[in-house]
Chains A and B, each alone.
Chain A
């Protein structure tokens, strides 16, 4: 038995050909978006580790359901960061409770960065920014960023 997921079926080739035949040209705008993604790379900032994403739970659940809320939990150094999103609001919580500087970056429309600070309970609430977005924190153990949240 092979240890690779081998595309060894003629049917796969037929499917591939069918989509090659119908593939729309890649819009130049999207090529530009792919190129611009590199400017968002932050080699100097650690990536927080995703511990929980409510959407992953949805994927396991009922097919085709939609959610207007999404929750994430990340490990960032010795802290845990929670991000809750609704259609209108974004709530960020740092545990243990810490007042820390954080920056919310949005990649939409050329990108923007807004600076905030969590309160003494480690919380921050604001209108939900445009997607994709990520949150960068200056924690005692260093600066961490969440992975991109795309929607």
Chain B
């Protein structure tokens, strides 16, 4: 019963600073609420970085171990989503190299063969024919974007993944520290990576 009342003191919608404080104080309920609140950020980050299921899952787990390990170093709890996203992308890059895997893994162009992979998740086909067509177009566009993203080097994928998932944005100095990149390189890298994927998308569009 005591555990129940303790659990009720924290919920995923609470202020991140309160949840971090609670976890630092040893409250597992605060940690559990943090996980519920932010697990999707980590999951999306690892999925953007790789389709290798083993590495994706191990990087996801490693990211939470890192947070538990370094919780007392989180200076701005509001920026925890960015911290987690960056840590997750670092873990994926690390594991890809350590295990000698291809940076991206399997393509997702054959949804039926991919089990739980990204490519298997074309949206549920709606009943209406117009909806169906719009759904198909949106699904094709999404696949095209993912295909272009796959062709980026993992450094670019990391920077874009972090940009996509950091809300609120990380300060340049924090991003620099977490990504291990010089602060002056972040702006130009971001620009170069976005230009690259834009070009890839244009090329794919022209090819159709």
- Interfacial residues, chain A to chain B (CB-CB below 8 A): 3-7, 9, 11-12, 14-27, 30-31, 33-35, 37-41, 43, 47, 55-56, 58-59, 63-67, 70, 107, 131-132, 147-148, 150-151
Measured CA separation A13–B194 after assembly (Å): 12
Q: Could you say which interface size class chain B belongs to?
A: 35 or more
Residue from the set A40, A59, A151 with the largest chain B CB neighbour count within 10 Å: A151
* B57 contacts A by Cβ under 8 Å: yes
Contacts A5-B171, A22-B142 given; indicate if A66 touches B71 (C-beta within 8 A): no
Q: Give the secondary structure class of B's interface.
A: helix
Shortest A133–chain B CB gap in Å is 11
Number of residue pairs A-B, CB distance < 8 angstroms = 181
Shortest B50–chain A CB gap in Å is 12
Of the stretches B10-18, B90-98, B125-133, the one at the interface is: B90-98
| Residue contact A5 to B97, C-beta cutoff 8 Å | no
- Interfacial residues, chain B to chain A (CB-CB below 8 A): 23-24, 26, 28, 31-32, 35, 39-40, 42-44, 47-48, 57-62, 64-72, 91, 93-95, 97-103, 108, 116-123, 138-139, 141-143, 145-146, 149, 153-154, 160, 162-173, 175, 180, 186, 190, 194, 197-198
Measured CA separation A24–B118 after assembly (Å): 6
| Residue contact B97 to A37, C-beta cutoff 8 Å | no
| Residue contact B166 to A19, C-beta cutoff 8 Å | no
Shortest A136–chain B CB gap in Å is 12
Shortest B13–chain A CB gap in Å is 18
Measured CA separation A151–B72 after assembly (Å): 24
Shortest B118–chain A CB gap in Å is 4
Partner of B163, one of A3, A12, A55: A12
| Residue contact A66 to B65, C-beta cutoff 8 Å | no
Residue from the set A5, A6, A23 with the largest chain B CB neighbour count within 10 Å: A5
Contacts A55-B94, A64-B102, A151-B94 given; indicate if A19 touches B64 (C-beta within 8 A): no
A residues less than 8 Å from B118 (CB atoms)? 19, 22-24
| Residue contact B69 to A15, C-beta cutoff 8 Å | no
Task: Please give 14 more A-B residue pairs, beta carbons under 8 A apart, in addition to A30-B60, A38-B31.
Answer: A4-B168, A11-B198, A17-B142, A18-B141, A19-B164, A21-B123, A24-B121, A31-B39, A34-B64, A63-B153, A66-B100, A148-B65, A148-B69, A151-B98
| Residue contact A5 to B95, C-beta cutoff 8 Å | no
| Residue contact A55 to B32, C-beta cutoff 8 Å | no
Shortest A147–chain B CB gap in Å is 6
| Residue contact B39 to A34, C-beta cutoff 8 Å | yes
| Residue contact A5 to B68, C-beta cutoff 8 Å | no
| Residue contact A4 to B171, C-beta cutoff 8 Å | yes
Shortest B34–chain A CB gap in Å is 9
B residues less than 8 Å from A24 (CB atoms)? 47, 116-118, 120-121
| Residue contact B121 to A151, C-beta cutoff 8 Å | no
8 A-B pairs with the lowest CB-CB distances in the bound complex, closest first:
A66-B100, A18-B145, A37-B64, A22-B118, A18-B142, A38-B31, A34-B64, A150-B62
A residues less than 8 Å from B99 (CB atoms)? 66, 151
Measured CA separation A1–B175 after assembly (Å): 16
Contacts A19-B44, A63-B153 given; indicate if A4 touches B169 (C-beta within 8 A): yes
| Residue contact A18 to B69, C-beta cutoff 8 Å | no
Residue from the set B138, B139, B142 with the largest chain A CB neighbour count within 10 Å: B142
Measured CA separation A15–B66 after assembly (Å): 27
